[in-house]
Amino acid sequence: MIFKILVVDDEATMRKGITNFMNWDSLDCQVVGAVENGLAAMDFLKNSDVNIVLTDIKMPGADGLELARFIHDEYPQIKVIILTGYADFEYAKTAIKYDVVSFIVKPTNKRDLFDAVKKAQEQIIISRNRSSIAKEEIAFLRDQLLLEMTTMPYVPSFVKRLSKLNLSLNDYYVAAFQLVPLENDITALKK
């Protein structure tokens, strides 16, 4: 899998530097965009597939923490790494609140950025695996519940169990069965 990265910094030299600083191919990453502030990043995310955002904090328009909040609320599958020149504890505390993967103080070295990107990649992979397993489990539970509903009289607890599986009785299928004695099947097969 190739991880797609968006770089967000108000300084053009920083955007270019981050884009060229790492051998992104060696990390299975591709920089898909570089924008100048949080507002531009929010617009970019609406139309682009991004896995990891590397952002500064202090920027005009919307800063990095506003961007982290937006991503946390709207695109929770995207991981955020903050690269900043401000080592303020309040910034770090807010970053934690929005599930930022790493808070790196500039100037940084390749190892810190490499480790932060690897951590973000691991979190993405774990999240995708959990999501896949959860979907399989829900499909199995849904099938089991629907089977129970066809073999048992209606029970009020079905509604609660259906809602836990994001199903409702508003959408349903109707099936009709006719039971034929087994003896007729055997007789029909012999003919």
Bridge partners, residue 6, by sequence: 33, 53
Domain-by-domain residue ranges, the chain? 3-129, 135-190
- The CATH number of 3-129 is 3.40.50.2300
- Cα–Cα–Cα angle for 53, 41, 124, nearest 5°? 25
Q: Which two tokens stand for residue 29?
A: 């990453």
One digit per residue, pLDDT tens: the chain, 191 residues?
A: 899 999 999 999 999 999 998 899 999 999 999 999 999 999 999 999 999 999 999 999 899 999 999 999 999 999 999 998 878 888 888 888 899 999 998 888 889 999 999 999 999 998 888 776 767 777 777 777 767 766 766 666 766 776 776 666 665 566 666 666 666 556 655 66
